[in-house]
Amino acid sequence: MNREQTSRLLQQHGAVMVLALLVIVGSLAFESFATPANAASVVVSSSFLAIIAIGMTFVIISGGIDLSVGSLFVLGGVLAAYGSPYGMLVALLLPLAVCGVVGLLQGLVIARTGMAPFIVTLAGLLGVRGLMLAISDEGATTYLVKDRAFAALGQGELLGLSHPVYITGALALLAMVLLQRTGFGQNVYAIGGNEQAAALMGVPVARTKVLVYVMSGLLAGLAGALNAARLSSGVTILGIGLELDAIAAVVIGGTLLTGGAGGITGSVAGVLLLGVIQSLINQVGSLTSAFQQVVSGVFLALVVVAQRLLSKAQRLT
């Protein structure tokens, strides 16, 4: 294996390797780490962030960013609980419709006006959070999930794992096929690599960008709805900083912030890596949960530096 192939392997699968290493170290250091119950806890708690990270992967590969997903996650949960008295279909479709429209509007503004995604989605973050507060009377009203079938979607289990884990796995497989095996996926890579060159080659830049942000909005709303089903209520205090966790997981998973490179497998591995770090900190016992943010931040900084070094090494070969 030459130097270029080694660099690509580390960039694409480095998160998986580090994840495997941490699991081995944790299993050797703590007896309660490598238990089915702890593994199930990590996977279940990571599933909602993974759904958001899947959408964020498409956005970042296209060269954009979406800061509104944390607010959409909360809004999706509140709308799902709000609509649950009218049945499971309403509880699912209401958050998907609203969050999808928000993603559509953000995508149209970014694609048609050329405004920076950072600014547009920051405005989306504030606007969506304001909408959520208006629906919940400044957070004073907590809507409870009243439809049993919808609650079972988040609380039911199969083979020891809750339903959201299987939904996340199915979405990840679908996203991998969409990104790697379809023209739409190739367009996303082309736009992130060089937007001007992609436009000259006939790639529908604006349409692809809009679809990417619609996907991100839909997946954030779905994650919020599933979380509401799991908790049996639309909790308004969740989701703060979740957009940063999603971005961190995607970048740790090997997706370049500059766009044009990355994949779903790495993003899911990045989410699990954050979950395993949290679990290891819990195993230590003497460290608070806040320390997880410190470790994640250091890890993210190291990954970004490593990505730059690997990209430089690939250019020199």
Q: In angstroms, how far is the first alpha carbon of the chain from the final one?
A: 13
Residue of 102, 141, 98 lying closest to 233 (CA atoms): 141
To which H or E segment does residue 162 belong? strand 161-162
Domain boundaries, the chain: 46-271+290-304
Q: Are 99 and 220 in contact (CB under 8 A)?
A: yes
Question: Residue 110 and residue 93: Cα distance in Å, rounded?
Answer: 25
Asked whether the whole model's pTM tops 0.85, one would answer: yes
- pLDDT, tens digit, 9 for 90 and up, residues 215-247: 999 999 999 999 999 998 887 777 778 888 899
Here the tokens at position 173 are: 């497989």
pLDDT in tens, 76-122: 999 999 989 998 899 999 999 999 999 999 999 999 998 999 999 99
